[in-house]
Amino acid sequence: MVGAWAVAGVCGQLVLVGVNALVLADGGGGAISVVTALRFLGMSASPTAFTGLYRHDPVLGFVVPAAVLAATVPLAAVRSKNLP
């Protein structure tokens, strides 16, 4: 479990670096502030959203956020293809 957690942390950091690099590659210095603000909002809202799940069943505290993420990524990809 510790190894999986460590690998997930490394992968998460690589995703963050990738997003920051994509934002900065287009010269969007101000856009990085938006990305960072949204990351902060998500991190600060998640305890409120998922603490009840942790109390009910610790597995749900991990499965539900993973399911939300798994559903959001394909929707975001489809939406980005439809933008001009």
State the angle between helix axes of 29-56 and 2-25 in degrees (0 to 180), rounded to the nearest 10: 150
pLDDT at 29: 66
pTM greater than 0.85 (yes/no): no
At 1 the three-state DSSP class reads coil
pLDDT at 5: 86
Measured between its terminal Cα atoms, the distance across the chain in Å is: 43
DSSP letter, residue 74: H
Would you write out the chain's pLDDT as a tens digit for each of its 84 residues?
Answer: 888 888 988 988 888 888 777 767 766 667 677 777 887 888 888 788 778 888 888 888 888 888 988 888 888 777 666 656
Nearest to 22 by CA among 69, 80, 82: 80
